[in-house]
Amino acid sequence: MSISMVLLQAINTADNYLPIGIQLIFAAGFVATMIGVSALVGPKRKTKDKLETFTSGIPSHGDARQPMAIKYFLVAILFVLFDVEVIFFYPYAVNFKELGWEGFIAVLMFVAFFLVGFIYIIKKGALKWED
Q: What does each C-alpha distance from 73 to 78, 100, 119 come to in angstroms?
A: 9, 38, 19
Q: Determine the 3-state secondary structure of 80 from DSSP.
A: helix
Q: How confident is the model at residue 98 (pLDDT cuts 50, 70, 90)?
A: confident
Q: Residue 10's pLDDT is what?
A: 58
Give mean pLDDT, residues 105-120.
Answer: 87
Identify the band that residue 3 occupies on the pLDDT scale cut at 50, 70 and 90.
low
Residues 4-14, mean pLDDT to the nearest whole number = 62
Mean pLDDT over 7-25 rounds to: 78
Q: Is 57 helix (H, G, I), strand (E, B) or coil?
A: coil
Phi, psi of 90 (to 5 degrees): -60, -50
What's the pLDDT at 30?
A: 98
**Amino acid identity, residue 95?**
N
pLDDT reported for residue 118: 82
Distances (CA, A) of 66 to 61, 62, 69: 11, 8, 10
% the chain with pLDDT above 70: 85
